[in-house]
Chain A
Amino acid sequence: MSSEIFTKSMARNIYYGGSLFFILLFLALTFDTSRALPNRDHRENLTPEVIKGKAVWEENNCIGCHTLLGEGAYYAPELGNVYLRRGGDQGGTDFIKAWIKAMPTGAPGRRQMPQFNLTDEELDAITAFLKWTSQINTANWPPNREG
């Protein structure tokens, strides 16, 4: 590196030029992604209930134990597809609501999920949110229902 063929100012120019170029490319890809997303996230189904469900998800810090589309904590099951795993339109909603209400199991030594004391309205909202999430086009992820 000490050879004078490759000088410090050349290195600096690669840094500035390269960074600028790839920032612009990233913005262009972001622009294209934004245009493609409506067909993949089905935002037409973002009802006020789903939106409230996301707030319930956030304000109880569910991500602190679970993954959602593979992101979050790895202590408890993936929930991006829990609606489908637990019966989809045949029972998914009822299962999720009953599950949340039944926590904690109190089984000795087993990982425990807290009791969040959600209202019926909040329970409906969180299930609507998880149902909406399960319909996002995730390029076939997860590999199977177990998440």
Chain B
Amino acid sequence: MQYSSQAVAKPYFIAAIGLFVGQILFGLIMGLQYVVGDFLFPAIPFNIARMVHTNLLIVWVLFGFMGAAYYLIPEEAEKELHSPLLAIVLFWTFLIAGVLTILGYLLMSYAKLAAFTGNSFLPTMGREFLEQPTITKIGIVIVALGFIYNVGMTVLQGRKTVVNLVLMTGLIGLAVMFLFSFYNPSNLVLDKYYWWWVVHLWVEGVWELILGSILAFVLIKITGVDREVIEKWLYVIIAMALITGIIGTGHHYYWIGTPEYWQWWGSVFSALEPLPFFLMTVFAFNMVNRRRREHPNKAATLWALGTAVMAFLGAGVWGFLHTLAPINYYTHGTQITAAHGHMAFYGAYVMIVLTIISYAMPLLRGRAANSNKAQVLEMWSFWLMSIAMVFITLFLTAAGILQVYLQRATDTPLAFMAVQEKVALFYWLRETAGLVFFIGLVIYLISFFVTGEQKLAVPAGATAMN
């Protein structure tokens, strides 16, 4: 850590990990409800568990992005953060708003929450991933504005590196696209059309800029490869991401009432969306192979490479699997979608946050890298969680293929619920893989408390390696 204000990243990372645990617990509850339908009913109906699961995911990934920005922007700008105090105030605001919202989901019926928070004045609730009460959404916007002001001032007054500029563009884009969550026309087709401007243009648009810049930062630090080379790669990756991903939104406009020409625009451009993810993999391995130093943090290197590979598999390969219109006609809204959603979110956005945490947390705790013992444990958690996620994806894909054959691509279609019973075996297997994921997560937590010999400790202020 080179600037003392980078320390504000620490609470953000800790909160992220805490909410991650909550997310997975609710995932396990739902996984069981898939096969034991009345589990925890009516205390926690499936829809409530799902909101908690997906909203915690989004919120903790946002905590991770903010922590990453607070850590790397001062270092890149070569200047202290504009206002560490603001960063801490916003941290507590965001955490309290987030926890209250989750408690609202769990402690009252959703209809009551909607009434209680005055949803009818500006209805924005009840849409997938955007279930938060309108006042929470307003809170998110306020936090985002304060955050962007804080890091933005730092960038403006400091060194303007490509990593910083791309990260800032991604963060501003994230905030701007979120504004579409306030637009909820009563015409369902329009509602869906613009809903994707938040969801798709986040994960296959501006978030890729955030992903790319964090990855670039970590690779600069751990490989010592010339910044010029890495920045050129970063530009190529984000150029491909936006060139393919913006029109690629069309892969969600096949069957929601929008004109048929979207089947062409969506298929052609989204079929190219794997390219930036493929480049990211080539980039990460190339840089690590050409490394000019042996960084003591082996775990961070593993996470960085893992991110590139798993993002390519989840977003690139599993995305391509169902993105062409004639295939999506059969797979749309099945377990295939869930399989892809899981591996893509995990590979790209969970893993990039765990990468920056892995790299930055030891430095925030005053050492270049954790002890060997702690790193070995962390690497175990890497493999357990990643392999478990591969199996979750495979089992859901199997369930999805059967679902398509039994319910859709047949002359004698079975009803939805009948099909669900027939594929129950794969849901049991998914739940088992989910438990392994959870074990991996527990080991991950433990790795933070393992000390071991501190041969890697460095005096404060002496961590500058670049």
Among A111, A133, A143, point to the contact of B46 (Cβ < 8 A): A111
Whole-angstrom distance between the alpha carbons of A57 and B37 in the complex?
22
Would B333 and A61 count as touching, CB distance under 8 A? no
Number of interface residues of B (CB under 8 A): 80
Q: Which one of B17-25, B142-150, B226-234, B380-388 contacts A?
A: B226-234
Residues of B within 8 A of A143 (CB): 329-330, 408-409
Would B232 and A7 count as touching, CB distance under 8 A? yes
Among A46, A67, A109, A132, point to the contact of B333 (Cβ < 8 A): A67
Residues A19 and B243 in contact in the complex (CB < 8 Å), given A14-B235, A138-B255: yes
Whole-angstrom distance between the alpha carbons of A82 and B30 in the complex?
24
Would A73 and B46 count as touching, CB distance under 8 A? yes
The distance from the CB of B342 to the nearest CB of chain A, in whole angstroms, is 12
Would A112 and B189 count as touching, CB distance under 8 A? no
Whole-angstrom distance between the alpha carbons of A18 and B269 in the complex?
13
Q: Which A18-59 residues have C-beta < 8 A from chain B?
A: 18-19, 22-23, 25-26, 29-30, 32-33, 36-37, 40-41, 43, 46, 50-51, 54-55, 57-59
Cβ of A144 within 8 Å of any chain B Cβ, yes or no, is yes
Among B111, B184, B337, point to the contact of A60 (Cβ < 8 A): B111
Q: Mark B243-257, 1 if CB is under 8 A from A, else 0.
A: 100110110111111
Q: Which B35-80 residues have C-beta < 8 A from chain A?
A: 36-38, 41-42, 45-48, 50-51
Whole-angstrom distance between the alpha carbons of A112 and B48 in the complex?
13
Number of interface residues of A (CB under 8 A): 74
Q: Which one of B81-89, B124-132, B454-462 contacts A?
A: B124-132
Would B239 and A109 count as touching, CB distance under 8 A? no
Would B329 and A11 count as touching, CB distance under 8 A? no
Whole-angstrom distance between the alpha carbons of A130 and B399 in the complex?
28
- Name the residue of chain B whose CB is nearest to the CB of A48: B186
Q: Which one of B216-224, B258-266, B359-367 contacts A?
A: B258-266
Cβ of B4 within 8 Å of any chain A Cβ, yes or no, is no
Whole-angstrom distance between the alpha carbons of A63 and B48 in the complex?
11
Would A78 and B50 count as touching, CB distance under 8 A? no
Cβ of A87 within 8 Å of any chain B Cβ, yes or no, is no
- Name the residue of chain B whose CB is nearest to the CB of A75: B46
Cβ of B285 within 8 Å of any chain A Cβ, yes or no, is no
Residues of A within 8 A of B246 (CB): 19, 22-23, 25-26
Residues of A within 8 A of B242 (CB): 15, 18-19, 22
Among B33, B186, B193, B338, point to the contact of A51 (Cβ < 8 A): B186
Would A71 and B46 count as touching, CB distance under 8 A? no
Cβ of B190 within 8 Å of any chain A Cβ, yes or no, is yes
- Name the residue of chain B whose CB is nearest to the CB of A55: B123
Cβ of B463 within 8 Å of any chain A Cβ, yes or no, is no
Q: Mark A132-146, 1 if CB is under 8 A from B, else 0.
A: 110011110111111
Whole-angstrom distance between the alpha carbons of A73 and B416 in the complex?
13
Whole-angstrom distance between the alpha carbons of A145 and B257 in the complex?
17
Known: A137-B257, A141-B254. 13 other contacts (CB 8 A): A15-B242, A18-B242, A19-B242, A37-B259, A71-B128, A76-B46, A109-B37, A110-B38, A138-B255, A139-B255, A143-B329, A146-B408, A146-B416
- Measured CB to CB, the residues of A under 8 A from B are 1-2, 6-8, 11-12, 14-15, 18-19, 22-23, 25-26, 29-30, 32-33, 36-37, 40-41, 43, 46, 50-51, 54-55, 57-65, 67-78, 104, 106-112, 114-116, 132-133, 136-139, 141-147
> Could you pull out 23 A-B pairs where Cβ atoms are within 8 angstroms?
A1-B233, A8-B228, A14-B236, A25-B246, A25-B247, A30-B193, A36-B258, A37-B189, A41-B190, A41-B257, A61-B125, A61-B126, A65-B47, A65-B50, A74-B338, A75-B46, A106-B38, A109-B38, A110-B37, A111-B417, A111-B420, A139-B254, A142-B408
